[in-house]
Amino acid sequence: MQKWIPRTAILLLAIIVMGCSPDIDQIPSGKTDPVENPTPTNETVSESPWNGEWFFLSDNILGTLHITENDESEFDYKLSGLQPTTEDSSPKSLTFEGNGTIDGHQAEATCEATANCKMIIKMDGSALQLTINDEITDGSELILSGEYKKSTSIEETPMFRMKNDQFLIYGVLQGDKPSAVKAKLGNPESEGPDEMIQNYWIQQYPAKELLVTYYDDWVETISFTTTKEALEAEIAEHFEGERYRNKDGTDYLLVPQNQDLLLYRPIEEDPSTINVLVTVADENFYYSLEHGEISKVE
């Protein structure tokens, strides 16, 4: 694992290093008709749209809902939520398990056998709207009511695109909220506060070797590892902005309209692999440009 310390004073990220029946005219005269074999079919029993894992589109809670439909109208479920440790609080968790009934696109369940707690779930395609009555809202317990998305509905997104003069990385933009990132990528494998920079929050998606860093619940930086060949093929097709290069071998893509900056450089152990960071051009970038450390690529 290699740490990449960008030149801006507020950024410090760890780059981390998927048999046919016979025809009637073939039956000999005087013989009785053969017993018909069942007609083979390729039809399969369709999976219930309720079954499976659903993840919570929350900005600050890692939530998961597992549903197992038993028959046409009954199901078992497990609903769990975790709010990781922050500098100001200890981790909180909450779990409900139970069963309920399904009526078309709506389901009802009990969430606590000893309390008057009920759960209403409404399905709209690959999304669920879950409402728990009598939730405790004083901050002592997690709020798990809200929108859930089916894990199998996540679509593969391209590594690099441009959208509204911003770098779009695996569907993620700077300025996105955590819930918007989860809608594109699902729940992160892990998340928690940056141990080296105060007030920063990191989510990790190891399958894509991707780190998303937040400041005040907004995406601040995006970093990932890929091959130079793969990224530069995407850049050649989708980027038309300014390009720069540092004497140390770092390449830069700059969007002057909003100062968005993408920089990448080879990993020493494997030059075909690169660490990539999406951030904002600051005074350090322009200082290096003014003093010749960075030059424009014509």
User: What's the burial of 194, exposed, middle or buried (CB within 10 Å: 0-12/13-18/19+)?
Assistant: middle
Sheet holding 218-227, edge to edge: 190-193, 200-205, 210-215, 218-227, 270-280, 260-267, 251-255, 242-246, 294-296
Q: Rounded distance, CA 272 to CA 205, Å? A: 21
Q: Rounded distance, CA 225 to CA 228, Å? A: 9
pLDDT digits (tens, 9 = 90+) for 86-111: 666 677 899 999 999 999 999 999 88
Is residue 118 a contact partner of residue 131, using CB atoms and an 8 Å limit? no
Q: Coil, helix or strand for 259?
A: coil
Is residue 81 a contact partner of residue 63, using CB atoms and an 8 Å limit? yes
Q: Rounded distance, CA 253 to CA 174, Å? A: 15
Residue whose tokens read 């860093």: 213
Is residue 65 a contact partner of residue 54, using CB atoms and an 8 Å limit? yes
Chain-centre distance of CA 42, in angstroms?
A: 34
Under the banding of pLDDT at 50, 70 and 90, the label for residue 10 is very low
Is residue 280 a contact partner of residue 261, using CB atoms and an 8 Å limit? yes
Q: Coil, helix or strand for 114?
A: coil
The class (CATH top level) of 52-153 is mainly beta
C-alpha separations of 185 from 130, 206, 226 in Å: 21, 11, 17
Q: What is the per-residue pLDDT for 282?
A: 94
* Sequence-separated (6 or more) residues with CB below 8 Å from residue 33: 24, 27
pTM equals 0.81
pLDDT digits (tens, 9 = 90+) for 173-227: 999 999 999 999 999 998 888 888 888 999 999 999 999 999 999 999 999 999 9
> How many residues appear in the chain?
298
HSE at residue 63, side-chain half, CA atoms within 13 A, is 25
Q: Where in the chain is the domain with CATH 2.40.128?
A: 52-153
Mean pLDDT value across residues 259-273 = 95
Q: What is the per-residue pLDDT for 87?
A: 61
Is residue 69 a contact partner of residue 78, using CB atoms and an 8 Å limit? no
pLDDT digits (tens, 9 = 90+) for 15-53: 333 333 334 343 334 433 444 454 555 555 567 899 999
Q: What is the per-residue pLDDT for 86?
A: 65
Q: What is the per-residue pLDDT for 42?
A: 53
